[in-house]
Amino acid sequence: MKPTPFFSKKAAFILTTVCLVVSSASLPVAGKEKLTPQADTQKTSEPAAVITRYQVKKAYQDEFIKALSKYADYTIASEQNIMTEAFTEQENPSVLWLIERWSTKSELNNSHSHPLFKAIKTLSQKALEQPVKTIQIRDLEPVSKSAWRKEAAAEDTPIIIMLFVDSKAGTEENFKSVYHTAMPQFRSEPGVINYQLSQLEGDKTQFVTYEKFRNEDAFQYHLKFPPIKPVIDYLNTSIKQQPFQTGLHRLILIPGTKQ
């Protein structure tokens, strides 16, 4: 009669399986513990830009402008702020715009937790004719902070143009390509202070341009500048609603918010 082994084959298999499970539980899971925090860090460390639209009742316009001006002054002093500007709309003074760019999303969120921004939110509850419209954007042709802080000369009378473009689906890459080619030439115009193309987050077919010129003559020169022709051709043929000028806004910088 053969001696019975200390462990049967079945018992040995179970013990080996348990050891493997316990050992693997103590190991880091690739793509989870290590990669997820890194992905989150990358996302929050990217530059953040937002456009906010307020349509203000006439009785509250002066108070609202002061609140925006105070907030803009506070943000501009921050090392992490790239640019902040507040505007009234030339054709409709009841519409106010706030444009912000920050080094990271977290810095933008921190700024919106500041009492001066909370004061704007509180005032909005009674001062607005329509709900606040917040537009998150991503710059496609980004420039440095120093470029954004470039100031107009003392003799300049700046013209600021903001154009919203709602492209037909399937043509958005063409629009980006046209602008990518033209942007260096636009920025080299002697009358251009800033020129930026951005894409709205969450909708790849929507864009907005920010264009700051030294004066009206510089803007009119830009409209006749040969490199703009492919852009105008696109706007006349490949957006959802014509004419494209309906998306154009002339902005007036609120006094006290000049960088």
**Residue 56, beta-bridge partner list:** 128
What pLDDT, on the 0 to 100 scale, is given for residue 34?
A: 40
pTM of the predicted protein model: 0.82
Nearest to residue 148, comparing CAs of 135, 157, 156, 139?
A: 139
Counting Cβ atoms within 10 Å, is residue 225 exposed (0-12), middle (13-18) or buried (19+)? middle
Dist CA 89 CA 126 (whole Å): 20
Counting Cβ atoms within 10 Å, is residue 3 exposed (0-12), middle (13-18) or buried (19+)? exposed
What pLDDT, on the 0 to 100 scale, is given for residue 136?
A: 98
What pLDDT, on the 0 to 100 scale, is given for residue 171?
A: 98
What pLDDT, on the 0 to 100 scale, is given for residue 43?
A: 56
Domain ranges of the chain: 46-253
Dist CA 97 CA 53 (whole Å): 5
What pLDDT, on the 0 to 100 scale, is given for residue 115?
A: 98
Rg of the Cα atoms in the chain? 27
> CATH assignment of 46-253, given 3.40.50.300, 1.10.4100.10, 3.40.710.10, 3.30.70.100?
3.30.70.100
- Report the chain (259 residues): mean pLDDT per 10 consecutive residues: 46 42 41 42 76 98 98 96 97 97 97 98 98 98 95 94 98 98 97 98 97 98 98 98 97 77
What pLDDT, on the 0 to 100 scale, is given for residue 45?
A: 78
CA angle 255, 83, 225 (to 5 degrees): 85
Nearest to residue 161, comparing CAs of 70, 102, 97?
A: 97
What pLDDT, on the 0 to 100 scale, is given for residue 217?
A: 98
Calculate the CA 228 to chain-centre distance: 24
